[in-house]
């Protein structure tokens, strides 16, 4: 991994304990006035009479990390942020589990909220991560981001 590029990937689901720990660590930064958090959760969608039970995420890791770095830099330049974190699952994530955790912090809530929204939209549209939906029958199909 190139210098300055953070690893955003977590193997399998992102645990509630990991999320809570991330939030707790920021309580010591007394310049933060607001946080915004987005948690993406795997849904039990119905597709052609089948129910999704999990999604298996894969990525071209080097390209994805470079893209995430570029997105981070762009969003930091656009908003007055104190802190920003992006975590995305790789591997199998079951229905009801967290697959994406985006966390922004700023002196003021509006910047944190707007930056978080921008990050999520750009991640969904630009990050080369693919999800293979696994159905209850064991069949699978590639997920289309919406």
- What is the pLDDT at residue 48? 83
Which residues, including other chains, have CB under 8 Å from residue 32's CB and lie 6 or more apart? 26, 82, 83, 105, 106, 107
Domain contains 1: no
Structural domains of the chain, count: 1
CA 47 to chain centre: 24
Residue 63 is predicted with a pLDDT of 95
- Blockwise average pLDDT, block size 10, the chain, 146 residues: 81 97 90 95 92 96 96 95 96 98 96 98 96 92 77
**CATH number, position 73:** 3.90.1170.40
Residue 2 lies in a domain: no
Q: Are strands 81-94 and 9-11 parallel, antiparallel or unpaired?
A: parallel
Q: Does residue 134 fall inside a structural domain?
A: yes
The β-bridge partners of 141 are: 133
- Can you tell me whether residue 94 is helix, strand or coil? strand
Rounded Cα gap, residues 76 and 40, in angstroms? 21
Q: Which pLDDT value is given to residue 2?
A: 55
Determine, yes or no, domain membership for 17.
Answer: yes
The rounded distance, in Å, linking the Cα atoms of 29 and 8 is 22
- Is the pTM higher than 0.85? The answer reads yes
* CA atoms of 5 and 88, how far apart (whole Å): 15
Distance CA 33, CA 28 (A): 12
Q: Could you list the residue range(s) of the whole structural domain that residue 94 is in?
A: 9-23+30-142
DSSP label of 14:
B
């Amino acid at each position: 991994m190139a210098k300055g590029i953070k690893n955003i990937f977590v193997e399998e689901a992102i645990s509630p304990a990991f999320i809570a720990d991330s939030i707790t660590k920021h309580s010591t930064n007394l310049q933060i006035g607001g946080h915004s958090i987005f948690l993406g959760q795997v849904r039990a969608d119905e597709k052609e009479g089948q129910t999704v039970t999990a999604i298996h995420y894969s990525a071209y890791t080097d390209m994805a990390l470079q893209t995430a770095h570029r997105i981070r830099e762009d969003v930091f330049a656009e908003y007055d942020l104190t802190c920003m974190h992006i975590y995305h699952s790789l591997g199998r994530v079951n229905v009801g589990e967290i697959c994406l955790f985006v966390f922004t912090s700023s002196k003021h809530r509006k910047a944190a909220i707007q930056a978080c929204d921008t990050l999520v939209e750009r991640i969904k549209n630009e990050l080369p991560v693919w999800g293979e939906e696994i159905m209850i029958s064991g069949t699978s199909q590639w997920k289309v981001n919406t």
